[in-house]
Structure 1
Amino acid sequence: MIEEFKDIMLSKEDSRYQHVQRIVDLLISSNSDLPGVFETEWVVHVVENPDINACALPNGQIFVFTGLLEAALDAHQLSFILGHEMAHALLEHTAEMNSVSHFLDFFFLVSLVIIWAICPVDSLAIMGQWIQSTLKKYMFDRPYSRTLEAEADQVGLQLVAKACVDVRASSVFWKQMEVLGTLSKDTPIPEWLSTHPSHENRADHLDRLIPEAIKLRESCNCPALPFPDPREVFNLTAKQLLQAPENAITANK
């Protein structure tokens, strides 16, 4: 992956790289008591790419696209996304996903062999293989991937809470993404077809987790959360923003 992006990686002197590195350093120092955090050699890479994306590999390599830096409105939102990606690595989700996938491949292979043994028709075997592949993708792989994403959200929220980040910003980020999708008029991918929860469901899930994260934050003697709640500010702003086109149409009549 480093080879793939080496020509478009920001230098360590770039302010955007330094911003990400500071946040990662804070998350590491605030969670050094957790197994795997301090032992892992976390290495930051910031890639010049407009995609809103980031990932953390099992070996601690963290890749952040500049598109994400532009989408995250503040350090609190970016901290949560980085915490989420680090949680994937700490929870060994890649290995877990591969293990489940290999098990399902073996299970379906055995099933296919049994079908072919009962009715040795090549066309039936090919059709059975296609059906099994489709079932595996949409009934097992993608739902399981969405479950791992929700788990990483929960653990990532705990990581940033211990770093005294405003945990309320986590759901605001995904609400922003939902509004951006609405304004762009792009047809969203149905959740059941995606490896990730929908932006709306993700924000709702985080909102349910935030009260417990606030308690954890308080137990770490963090400063009081600022007023007003960024979720309330965003909801008001989003409402005005989404009503603006309707107001413009009405004014032109």
Structure 2
Amino acid sequence: MTPSDTFPELQSETTYKRVLLKISGEALMGDQAYGLHPPTVARIAQEVQSVRDLGVEICMVIGGGNIFRGLQGSAQGMERTTADYMGMLATVMNALAMQSALEALSIHTRVISAIRMDEVAEPYIRRRAVRHLEKKRVCIFAAGTGNPYFTTDTAATLRANEMACEAIFKGTKVDGVYDKDPAKFDDAERYDTISYDDVLTKRLGVMDASAIALARDNNLPIIVFSLDEPGGFRGILAGRGTYTKVYG
């Protein structure tokens, strides 16, 4: 049975052909306070598989906050550049974990690092990465942009533009963008759509300002959805589910 037999509505409704999935390192922790939770990593890998099986080309950027966050290390007295490089190495560890989970599902995956470490990951070469996507391999971009002072949000937007992705899918713990923190305020209201400029003006914290500006300047939509909802990634690609679209 093919994916289109299982989900015939998706075969006709899926409009995105190439997307980038951005998730935080904290998304891999599960209920833990630190590190990797293998069942959670496996579940996210299954979400990626369900979308890839529809013929969608997928690349990923994963943060490193479950292991080390450069900005937090800097705030505790560590030199900022050193702290940021440590954070980049944390993203490589997460990328390798996700690669292992995807390959357990027989999905060809490439970890592509902005910092050369040829024994464990490919160096970033744009044309080679594009070719991997064309061959339906999942590309996981690690080590951010390779430069300190840039977040993985900015790295995700940069790579999405370089790969000619049609949208960034930002998986979070909430089902979209709210006017205030829904975990703290019962009257928080979710936006179905919102402009880049409103996100910046209202300081809504969808992604950092550099990432939002880069997406705006290149007309790259950002879809914010809950990664905790099973099947949410696949459903949103079919136009279903709850999410917020940042564009315009």
**TM-score over 0.5 for the alignment?**
no
Which of 1 and 2 has greater Rg? 1
- Structure with a larger share of its residues in strand: 2
Which structure has greater helix proportion?
Answer: 1
Q: TM-score range by the shorter chain?
A: under 0.3
